[in-house]
A and B are shown apart, each in its own frame.
Chain A
Amino acid sequence: AAGVIQSPRHLIKEKRETATLKCYPIPRHDTVYWYQQGPGQDPQFLISFYEKMQSDKGSIPDRFSAQQFSDYHSELNMSSLELGDSALYFCASSFLASGVRGDTQYFGPGTRLTVL
Chain B
Amino acid sequence: KQEVTQIPAALSVPEGENLVLNCSFTDSAIYNLQWFRQDPGKGLTSLLLIQSSQREQTSGRLNASLDKSSGRSTLYIAASQPGDSATYLCAVRPDSNYQLIWGAGTKLIIKP
Which A residues are closer than 8 A to B by beta carbons?
Answer: 31, 33, 35, 41-45, 48, 50, 55-56, 58, 88, 90, 92, 96, 100, 103-110, 112
Compute the total of residue contacts between A and B using a CB distance below 8 Å.
Answer: 58
A53 to chain B, nearest CB (A): 12
Known contacts A42-B105, A109-B43, A110-B43; A103 and B32 CB within 8 A of each other: yes
Partner of A56, one of B43, B89, B98: B98
Contacting pair A107 B43 (CB below 8 A)? yes
Main SS at interface, chain A: strand
Determine whether B97 belongs to the interface, using a CB cutoff of 8 Å to chain A. yes
Q: Compute how far the CA of A45 lies from the CA of B44 in the bound complex, rounded to whole angstroms.
A: 14
Contacting pair A42 B43 (CB below 8 A)? no
Q: Compute how far the CA of A104 lies from the CA of B50 in the bound complex, rounded to whole angstroms.
A: 10
Contacting pair A104 B43 (CB below 8 A)? no
Known contacts A42-B89, A103-B32, A104-B34; A90 and B99 CB within 8 A of each other: no
A32 to chain B, nearest CB (A): 11
A-B contact pairs, 13 of them (CB 8 A): A31-B98, A35-B100, A42-B104, A43-B89, A43-B100, A50-B98, A56-B98, A92-B44, A103-B51, A104-B34, A104-B46, A107-B43, A110-B44
B37 to chain A, nearest CB (A): 11
Partner of B102, one of A31, A42, A55: A42
Main SS at interface, chain B: strand
Contacting pair A45 B49 (CB below 8 A)? no
Contacting pair B99 A58 (CB below 8 A)? yes
Q: Compute how far the CA of A103 lies from the CA of B100 in the bound complex, rounded to whole angstroms.
A: 11
B34: chain A residues within 8 A (beta carbon): 104-105
Determine whether B62 belongs to the interface, using a CB cutoff of 8 Å to chain A. no
Known contacts A55-B98, A56-B97, A109-B43; A103 and B105 CB within 8 A of each other: no
B100: chain A residues within 8 A (beta carbon): 33, 35, 43, 45, 105
Determine whether B101 belongs to the interface, using a CB cutoff of 8 Å to chain A. yes
Q: With A103-B93, A104-B46, A110-B44 given, can you name 19 additional A-B contacts, CB distance below 8 Å?
A: A43-B89, A44-B102, A45-B100, A48-B99, A50-B98, A56-B97, A56-B98, A56-B99, A58-B99, A90-B43, A100-B51, A103-B32, A103-B49, A104-B49, A105-B34, A106-B46, A107-B45, A108-B43, A110-B43
